[in-house]
Amino acid sequence: MYPADLKYTKEHEWIRVEGGKGRVGITHHAQSALGDVVFVELPKVGRRLKQMETFGVVESVKAVSDLYCPASGEVVEVNTALEGKPELVNQDCYGAGWMIVVKVADPKELNKLMDAKAYEAYLAAEGGH
Amino acid sequence: MSGETVGTRGLVFNEPLIFEQGSPGRVGYSLPTSGVREVKPDRLIPKKLLRDDIPGFPEVSEVDVVRHFTRMSQWNYGIDLGFYPLGSCTMKYNPRLNEDMARLPGFARAHPYQPEAVSQGALQLLWELEQYLAEICGMDRVSLQPSAGAHGELTGIMLIRAYHISKGNPRKKILIPDSAHGTNPASSAVCGYQVVSVKSGPRGVVEPQAVAEVMDEEVAGIMVTNPNTLGIFEDHILEIAKIVHGKGGQVYCDGANLNAFVGIARPGDMGIDVIQLNVHKTFSTPHGGGGPGAGPVAMKRHLAPFMPVPTVEKKGKEFTLNYKLPKSIGKVRSFYGSFGVLVRAYTYIRTLGPTGLRRAAEVAVINANYILSRLKGTYHLPYDRFCMHECVFDDALQVPDNVKTLDIAKRLMDYGFHPPTIYFPLIVHGALMIEPTETESKETLDQFIAAMKAIAKEAKENGDLVRGAPHNPRVSRMDETKAARQPNLRWRPKASGS
Amino acid sequence: MRYIPNTDADCRQMLDAIGVRSVEDLFADIPAAVRLKRPLRIPPALSEADLTRHIRGLAAKNADADRYSTFLGAGCYNHFSPAIIGHLISRGEFLTAYTPYQPEISQGTLQVMYEYQSLICQLTGMEVSNASMYEGASATAEAILMAHRVTGRNEVVVMRSVHPEYRQVARTYAQQIGLTFHEVGFTPAGTADLRAAKAALSEKSACLVVQNPNFFGAVEDLAELAGAAHAVGALLVVAVPEPVSLGLLRPPGECGADIVAGEGQALGVPMSFGGPYLGVFATQEKYMRQMPGRLVGATLDREGRTGYVLTLATREQHIRREKATSNICTSEALIALIATIYMETLGKNGLREVALQNLRKAAFAKERLARVRGCSLRFSGPTFNEFVVQVKRKPADLLKGLLRKQIIGGLDLGQFYPELKDCLLVCVTEQHSREEVEALAKAMGGGR
């Protein structure tokens, strides 16, 4: 449920770093808590984000959640497939349901994030909230 | 389930969209005669500014129209049909006398710009209504202009902002308890204020310490709801008002729950500076499927200079509209307010009088506590104390059987009841907010209690029945995901041909 | 008390079940210092018969369109309303229903709203409509706030030919968040001054706000104005206080409007001394998620039957809270029902016929009043059902004289436009007979 090669934020985003770039999405826990995702609001390519700055919004029928960027950087790719098929976030949150790719400005920032084990422990402590 | 339930099935009709009905040449109307020359429109207005036919408008007979709407009306639940225990909505009986009065031609056929000399009856009604609402709230002036509760909240926050501007600094923040209705932070944001959330205490009320921690000279005010959305009286209100006033802030009260203490206590005596009322709640005007309502704003005199214009004044025996308020915030809508709705509220207040209004509050509170005491133990009570006019349960005792608040609500429909408010306030997970109002008899309450107990039993013994509910209405649960992912918000005429 | 079924005996039983001695125990949380220690000082209850007499007395003190010949318009119109409307909206299933949050038992309200949204789209030529706002002025204010959200810009260009109260309400809303207004005047034809509008528009403009027909009854060339707005990346907001005009006029959606904010009172809704009315709000699909107000959408239930639900609720206050597109909650559902019945009863032909009668009767009145001694037409351009008459006598005196003859002759424009202080705004609808117009002309000074 929580792939070992990813890093996680307290707001339930994940980041997969490949080369100098980080692919970002939301975790299984987040998509399950939201329910059916109906809309994802994403930034434009070129936008510069700071770590934990909000980059967009994910909506289900009855709830709205801000999306926080796990690492500072410039947005280089945006998953336009989510426009027509927001359900990809529910179906494949670590794969086809990815949201943005950022050019990671400072790899040291990633140390502030949790690894898979720490994230699972964090979820357990939160009490499945 | 023994005996007859309230809800059952009946003869109900399918009724397509009007656009799928009718045929060319069918007529549903009768217009006045012309009597003037039938000039071609393009002789009066340039052709490029004129339209062709209106696409997709139907051609149906009067009979078609009457059947269309009568059949659709049968798919609705209404107070006239049964119990409507929506928390914080105060779904009390809508008196028919109010309807007759609002329809009197002297009101219904009056134009707002007609001369004051021939509008004295309307102006008198507005003036008298202001006096009654001011007395009920313990306030000095009332603006009758806002057209809904949220509109009243917006007006109230605008008044507070204007007040602070007059003192040199609009300030930046509004304090709002986490149990507040969504319109509270939304109204603050429309006025450009940043919302600071105040956590409710363990007893379900706002603790003065929590307010003191965030109160400073950049806070314009606090928005409280009293009783709050848990149906509990904010018993620290005087202390909280003192803390806020102490740093120059203002206390706004969301008066949606006023039905709990009309005639028993008054917001103006609680340190509150400004409050909006919801006449479509406390004062019986009909909800109409989502309006019209009205949200008069009552205020202490230090906010009166900023009132929207015009105000209604009495000079000797005459009533006039006063536009000369140099510090007024302006207007929040055209003309004077939802006059027809205000006529209904006026009629209601004159029907009940001081004794009736007080009795309404007392019985509303008794009815709610009766439900609370009879359902306690069957459903989980997050705050185990007496309530005011509404009580809040949650689904904690049903969740182990995989039955949730939503399922309980849907199953109630099969028993012939509109569900209570669900999933609000947000601070109670799986909330079920029940407000019976004073216009329900003990028999009705007992039927509702029996239905809720039956559903709790079904949750344990036959969960699928509850999870699959509702079974009786014409349609079952809607695919709300599809509605949001593929929005279909209008009928479209076919591209060509029919 | 006939609205409170429970008697003292019933209450006694319930208090026993609750486990308290008296109702006072249930109010124990209210601090004594705050308890009201006297009855409310409002008049004692009146019986139904006495109260009816009293209120009828109040109503009788008002002029109304049945007993007076009234030529007032200016955002509230005296139109014919079919008899069936009153009966249908009085059905308890419509009148006493709540907002349709539980769709299974509110399909009546929901399907009506879906039809309403569809009809408004077709009438205005726009792609999506919401299920109502409060009324035209605040709807226009919300349109401006939406344009600000969409463009991120802080300036608003408004024509002075937009209803003065609409402009005032727009300012009241906009000043809370610091938007600046530039007002632009009108031409001798009584229409929006396009050149001046172009001069006022800039890359800082969120929108251009125009009204059609405008406050003087003049018909605007919306396409030209849309061009001017779009040239600087601003939105065109079109206010429509008189939607009956859309039975004849090219709809704003076909002219490049981005948002239509209107008043639905003309669609069969009683004048009722200013309210309740109906805020119309429509826009293009690309802006859908920035719209305020409720939206009803079609979908399927678990058995595949078509049904309707409130949708895209994440824009609204109960979910988005301070980030919502508006704070609006309760709107005008029952009034939208009135407008829906009206539009469906009249249908495509009826609405066109009503509009034609308005145009023709007003044209007749224009011509007739222009021949009255001391009267002339102030503006030269084409108008719909309202027009401005310049008079030699002081308007206040003229109107007083007319009132003595049970005629309400029009609106004294001096209160809104100092440069028009010798003018009246006169409205003529299908409700006026030729004889009434003749009577007005005669009373105003006869004619040649």
Taking the Cβ of residue C320 and every Cβ of chain A, the question of whether any pair is shorter than 8 Å is answered with yes
Tell me if A61 and B423 make a contact (CB, 8 A cut-off). Answer: no
Q: For position C27, what pLDDT does the model report?
A: 97
What digits encode the pLDDT tens for the residues A44-70? 999 999 999 999 999 998 889 999 999
Tell me if A64 and C313 make a contact (CB, 8 A cut-off). Answer: no
Q: For position A114, what pLDDT does the model report?
A: 95
Taking the Cβ of residue B334 and every Cβ of chain C, the question of whether any pair is shorter than 8 Å is answered with yes
> Domain-by-domain residue ranges, chain A?
7-122
The Cα B188–Cα B160 span in angstroms is 11
Three-state SS annotation for A21-57: EEEEEECHHHHHHHCCEEEEECCCCCCEECCCCEEEE
Is the Cβ–Cβ distance between C395 and C378 less than 8 Å? no
Judging by beta carbons within 10 Å of its beta carbon (0-12, 13-18, 19+), is residue C120 exposed, middle or buried?
buried
Q: Is C448 helix (H, G, I), strand (E, B) or coil?
A: coil
| Residue B282 shares a structural domain with residue B168 | yes
Taking the Cβ of residue A64 and every Cβ of chain B, the question of whether any pair is shorter than 8 Å is answered with no
Q: For position B495, what pLDDT does the model report?
A: 63
Tell me if B485 and A87 make a contact (CB, 8 A cut-off). Answer: yes
Taking the Cβ of residue C390 and every Cβ of chain B, the question of whether any pair is shorter than 8 Å is answered with no
Nearest by CB to B485, from A35, A38, A62: name it: A38
The Cα A35–Cα A48 span in angstroms is 29
Q: What do you get for the CA distance between the two ends of chain B, in Å?
A: 52
Encoded tokens for C411:
């609106």
| Residues 6 or more apart whose Cβ sits within 8 Å of residue B158 | B191, B306, B329, B332, C172, C176
Is the Cβ–Cβ distance between B349 and B129 less than 8 Å? yes
| Residue B418 shares a structural domain with residue B377 | yes
Q: Is residue B338 part of a domain?
A: yes
Closest alpha carbon to C265 in C424, C72, C125, C127: C72
Q: Is residue B421 part of a domain?
A: yes
The Cα C67–Cα C406 span in angstroms is 8
How many domains does chain B divide into?
Answer: 3
Residue A64 with chain C: CB contacts under 8 Å: 314, 319-320, 323
Q: For position B394, what pLDDT does the model report?
A: 97
> Domain-by-domain residue ranges, chain C?
69-81+348-445, 84-341
Closest alpha carbon to B477 in C325, C132, C303, A124: C303
Residue A62 with chain B: CB contacts under 8 Å: 423, 480
The Cα A95–Cα A6 span in angstroms is 12
The Cα B48–Cα B349 span in angstroms is 54
pLDDT band for C323, please (50, 70, 90 cuts). confident
Residue A38 with chain B: CB contacts under 8 Å: 481, 484-485
Please give the residue of chain A at the shortest CA–CA distance from B429: A129
Planar angle of CA A106, A109, A111, nearest 5 degrees? 135
Average pLDDT over every residue of B474-480? 94
Closest alpha carbon to B422 in B410, B405, B437: B405
Taking the Cβ of residue B344 and every Cβ of chain C, the question of whether any pair is shorter than 8 Å is answered with no
pLDDT band for C386, please (50, 70, 90 cuts). very high
Average pLDDT over every residue of B321-339? 98
| Residue B363 shares a structural domain with residue B233 | no
| CATH label, C69-81+348-445, candidates 3.30.1330.30, 3.50.50.60, 3.30.390.30, 3.90.1150.10 | 3.90.1150.10
Distance from CA of A103 to the nearest CA of B (A): 31
Instruction: Please state, in angstroms and as integers, the Cα–Cα distance from residue C216 to each residue in C380, C391, C426, following that order.
Output: 11, 15, 9
Main-chain phi, psi angles of C272, to 5 degrees = 45, 40
Closest alpha carbon to C219 in B52, B113, B48: B48
Q: Please say whether the dihedral angle defined by the alpha carbons of residues B172, B178, B184 and B186, taken in this order, is positive or negative.
A: positive
Nearest by CB to C18, from B74, B185, B373: name it: B373
Tell me if C97 and B287 make a contact (CB, 8 A cut-off). Answer: yes
Kindly list the partner chains of chain C, i.e. chains with 3 or more CB atom pairs below 8 Å: A, B
Q: What is the CATH number of the domain that holds B291?
A: 3.40.640.10
What digits encode the pLDDT tens for the residues C279-300? 999 999 999 999 999 999 999 9
Please give the residue of chain B at the shortest CA–CA distance from C131: B290
Tell me if C313 and A62 make a contact (CB, 8 A cut-off). Answer: yes
Average pLDDT over every residue of C14-21? 97
Please give the residue of chain C at the shortest CA–CA distance from B369: C18
Q: For position B1, what pLDDT does the model report?
A: 41
- Of B333, B351, B369, the position where a domain reaches its end is B351
The Cα A43–Cα A56 span in angstroms is 6
Instruction: Please state, in angstroms and as integers, the Cα–Cα distance from residue C406 to each residue in A98, B369, C91, C391, following that order.
Output: 72, 57, 36, 20
Q: Among C287, C299, C314, pick the best mutation site for testing chain A contact (most A Cβ within 10 A).
A: C314
pLDDT band for B229, please (50, 70, 90 cuts). very high
The Cα B480–Cα C314 span in angstroms is 12
Q: Is C297 helix (H, G, I), strand (E, B) or coil?
A: strand
Domain C84-341 falls in which CATH fold? Answer: Aspartate Aminotransferase; domain 2 (3.40.640)
pLDDT band for B267, please (50, 70, 90 cuts). very high
Q: For position B2, what pLDDT does the model report?
A: 44
Q: Is C352 helix (H, G, I), strand (E, B) or coil?
A: helix
Average pLDDT over every residue of C242-264? 98
| Residue B387 shares a structural domain with residue B241 | no
Bridge partners (DSSP) of residue C106 are: B76
- Mean pLDDT, chain C, as a whole number? 96
Q: What do you get for the CA distance between the two ends of chain C, in Å?
A: 65
Q: Whose structure tokens read 């976030």?
A: A89
- Of B283, B316, B351, the position where a domain reaches its end is B351
The Cα B384–Cα B372 span in angstroms is 9
Q: Above 70 in pLDDT, residue B498? A: no
Q: For position B3, what pLDDT does the model report?
A: 58
Residue B112 with chain C: CB contacts under 8 Å: 76, 271, 273-274
Distance from CA of C312 to the nearest CA of A (A): 7
Q: Quote the domain boundaries for residue B255.
A: 97-351
Q: Is A58 helix (H, G, I), strand (E, B) or coil?
A: strand
Q: For position A129, what pLDDT does the model report?
A: 45
Q: Above 80 in pLDDT, residue A127? A: no
Q: For position C327, what pLDDT does the model report?
A: 85
Domain A7-122 falls in which CATH fold? Answer: OB fold (Dihydrolipoamide Acetyltransferase, E2P) (2.40.50)
Instruction: Please state, in angstroms and as integers, the Cα–Cα distance from residue C196 to each residue in C108, C187, C229, following that order.
Output: 48, 10, 12
Residue C313 is which amino acid?
Answer: A
The Cα B436–Cα C175 span in angstroms is 41
Would you tell me which residues 27-66 of chain C have a C-beta closer than 8 angstroms to some C-beta of chain B? Answer: 27-31, 33-36, 39-46, 48, 51-52, 54-66
Three-state SS annotation for chain B: CCCCCCCCCCCCCCCCCHHHCCCCCCCCCCCCCCCCCCCCHHHCCCHHHECCCCCCCCCCCHHHHHHHHHHHHCCECCCCCCCCCECCCCCCCCCHHHHHHHCCHHHHCCCCCCCHHHEHHHHHHHHHHHHHHHHHHCCCEEECCCCCHHHHHHHHHHHHHHHHHHCCCCCCEEEEECCCCCHHHHHHHHCCCEEEEECCCCCCCCCHHHHHHHCCCCEEEEEEECCCCCCCCCCCHHHHHHHHHHCCCEEEEEHHHHHHCCCCECHHHHCCCEEECCCCCCCCCCCCCCCCCCCCEEECHHHHHHCCCCEEEEECCEEEEECCCCCCCCCCCCCCCCHHHHHHHHHHHHHHHHHHHHHHHHHHHHHHHHHHHHHECCEECCCCCCCCCCEEEECCCCHHHCCCHHHHHHHHHHCCCCCCEECCCCCCCCCEEECCCCCCCHHHHHHHHHHHHHHHHHHHHCHHHHHCCCCCCCCCCECHHHHHHCCCCCCCCCCCCC
Q: For position C445, what pLDDT does the model report?
A: 87
Q: For position C324, what pLDDT does the model report?
A: 84
Average pLDDT over every residue of A101-106? 95
Taking the Cβ of residue C289 and every Cβ of chain A, the question of whether any pair is shorter than 8 Å is answered with yes
Q: Is residue B448 part of a domain?
A: yes
Q: Above 60 in pLDDT, residue C447? A: no
Tell me if C320 and A63 make a contact (CB, 8 A cut-off). Answer: no
Instruction: Please state, in angstroms and as integers, the Cα–Cα distance from residue B161 to each residue in B118, B192, B385, B459, following that order.
Output: 36, 10, 37, 50
Residue B120 with chain C: CB contacts under 8 Å: 61-62
What digits encode the pLDDT tens for the residues B114-173? 999 999 999 999 999 999 999 999 999 999 999 999 999 999 999 999 999 999 999 999
Kindly list the partner chains of chain A, i.e. chains with 3 or more CB atom pairs below 8 Å: B, C
Average pLDDT over every residue of B303-320? 98
Residue C314 with chain A: CB contacts under 8 Å: 38-39, 59-64
Residue C296 with chain B: CB contacts under 8 Å: 489
Distance from CA of C39 to the nearest CA of B (A): 6
Distance from CA of C250 to the nearest CA of B (A): 4
Q: For position B12, what pLDDT does the model report?
A: 86
Would you tell me which residues 474-493 of chain B have a C-beta closer than 8 angstroms to some C-beta of chain A? Answer: 480-481, 483-485
| Residue B133 shares a structural domain with residue B205 | yes
Distance from CA of A61 to the nearest CA of C (A): 7
Q: Whose structure tokens read 């104390």?
A: B385
Tell me if B481 and A62 make a contact (CB, 8 A cut-off). Answer: no
ipTM of the complex: 0.97
Is the Cβ–Cβ distance between B280 and B286 less than 8 Å? yes
